Amino acid sequence: MLFYMAIALLYWSRDVVAWTSVSPVFWQPIPLFRTLGLGVLSPVALGVAVAAWKVSLLTSAAGLATRLSTAVAALLGTYLIGLPHNFGKIHHADAILVFALWILAFSRSGDGWSLDALIRASRKPSAAPLPPSGEYTWPFRMMWLVMSLVFFAAGVSKLRHSGLAWVTENALAGYLVRANDPVGRAAGAAWTDWGLWIAGVPWLSGLLGAVTLALELFFPLALFSRTTRRIIPAAVLCVQIGISAVMGPDFVRFLVAYLFWVPWRWVGETMSRLAARQGRHAFIYDGSCGLCGKTVAVLRRLDLFHRLEFYDALADWPRVRADFPSLVQEDCLKTMHVVTDRGRVETGFDAYRAIAWSLPLTFPIAPLLYAPGVPWLGRKVYAAVAARRHRSGCPAPAGSAVR
C-alpha cells in the first residue's frame, strides 16, 4: 500500500507527454526499448497510458483487482519510467522502482489487508483466514537481494576504477568540491555548502569515503544476519540522504525501496500492544443474519489491532448476559450493539461511529461521522438497511432466544 502510494505521489505531476515534442535526433534507445522495438507514443496515446498507470497505482495501493492492477502498473510503469532514459541521459535511481513493480506484480500482495480481501470476506464470511506462508515473504527477500546487488556493484565499481585510491587519495573530497562549485550551486545541486567544509577536512572526508565504500561492499551481509539487517540498510539510507544534502543527487525515488526493509511484523505487534492498553469494544450482533455475518467478517479484517471482541447474540448470549447484564437479547437481535471500552452502550449507526475510532482504515473518516447532518442521515440509512434485513428473513426463529 505504502509503496504504490509513494510511487503515485512521486510521478503524479510528472509531464511524461512532453517527451513527444523532443526531436527524434536525440532518440538513443536503451537496450530494453531497442530489443522490444518500443518508441515514443503519440501524445494522445501517451496521455491515455499515463492516466491508466495512475489509476493502476491507486487500485494497487487499495488492493482492488490486485493481480490485474499490479500487472498493469508494472507494464505501464516500465515504459513510462523508462521513456525519459532514451534521450542520452540515464538516471539509475529509477531502475529500482521497476524491479519492485515487477516483483509485486508476481506476488500475492492482495491476500492481506486489501479491498479484494474485504470483498472475499463479505462473500464468504465463514471462510478461515489465510495461514502464514513463505509465499508472502519472498517479495521482500527479492528486493533485499536486488538492493544488495545494486550497492555491492557500486562498491566494486569504485574499486575497479579507482582502487584503494578512492580512500587513500580522498576521492570523495574531489566530488564534494565539484558538486559545490558556483555553477553547481546556482543550479541547486546541493542543499547546503557543508560539502566544501567536509572537503576541507581531509581526515573527515577520507573517513566518510571509507565508510561509504565499506557499507556498499558489505551490504550483502544484510541478507544473512538480522543484526546487520538492522544496521547496514539504515546506515546506507543515512548516507544517501547525506549525499543529497552535500552533493545534490536526488535519491527520493530510490528511498521508496527502503519500505521493504521495515520490520512490519514488529511494527504491527508494537501498535497492537499499544492499542490493547486502551481496552476492547464488545460488538454484539445477530448471528442468524447473513448480512450481519458479512459485516462481522469485514470488521474482523479491518480490526488489525484487535480492538473488537465479537459476540453472537444467539450462540454467545450466556456470556453476553454475564458480561453485560443490562443488555436485552431481543434488542441485540434487532439492532447491532457496541459496548465501548469505557462501558458506554451504542446502537445502530452510533455503534459504527464508536468503533470507527479503533479501526485504522476508518479512523481518518471518524470525525466526519460527527459533522452536522451526518448522524441523522446515518441513522436513516441504518434503519432502512435493518428493515430490509428483517424483511429478508434475518430475524431469529421464534423461541430461539435464550432467557
pLDDT > 70? residue 163: yes
pLDDT class of 187 with cuts at 50, 70, 90: very low
3-state class percentages of the chain: helix first, strand second, coil last, to nearest 5: 65, 5, 30
Would you state the pLDDT for residue 401? 46
pLDDT > 90? residue 55: yes
pLDDT tens string 172-185: 888 888 777 765 45
**Higher-confidence position of 351 and 113:** 351
Assessment of whether the complete model's pTM goes beyond 0.85 = no
Would you state the pLDDT for residue 364? 85
Cα dist. 399→196, 314, 391 in Å?
Answer: 85, 11, 19
Sign of the dihedral through C-alpha 26, 32, 33, 37: positive
Would you state the pLDDT for residue 72? 97
Can you say how many angstroms the Cα of residue 399 is from the centroid of all Cα atoms in its chain?
A: 49
Sign of the dihedral through C-alpha 284, 290, 291, 297: positive
**Higher-confidence position of 222 and 397:** 222
CB environment 128-143: b (16+ within 10 A), e (fewer): eeeeeeeeeeebbebb
Q: Minimum mean pLDDT among 175-179, 236-240, 278-282: which range?
A: 175-179
Report whether 220 contacts 212 (CB < 8 A).
no
pLDDT > 60? residue 92: yes
Would you state the pLDDT for residue 183? 58
Would you state the pLDDT for residue 391? 53
pLDDT > 60? residue 361: yes
pLDDT tens string 299-315: 988 888 888 999 999 99
Would you state the pLDDT for residue 189? 62
Report whether 90 contacts 30 (CB < 8 A).
yes
- Angle of helix 348-356 relative to helix 374-391, nearest 10 degrees, comes to 120
The x, y and z cell numbers of residue 168, run together, are 587513500
**DSSP output for 370-398:** GSTTHHHHHHHHHHHHHHHHHHTT-SPPT
The x, y and z cell numbers of residue 53, run together, are 498507470
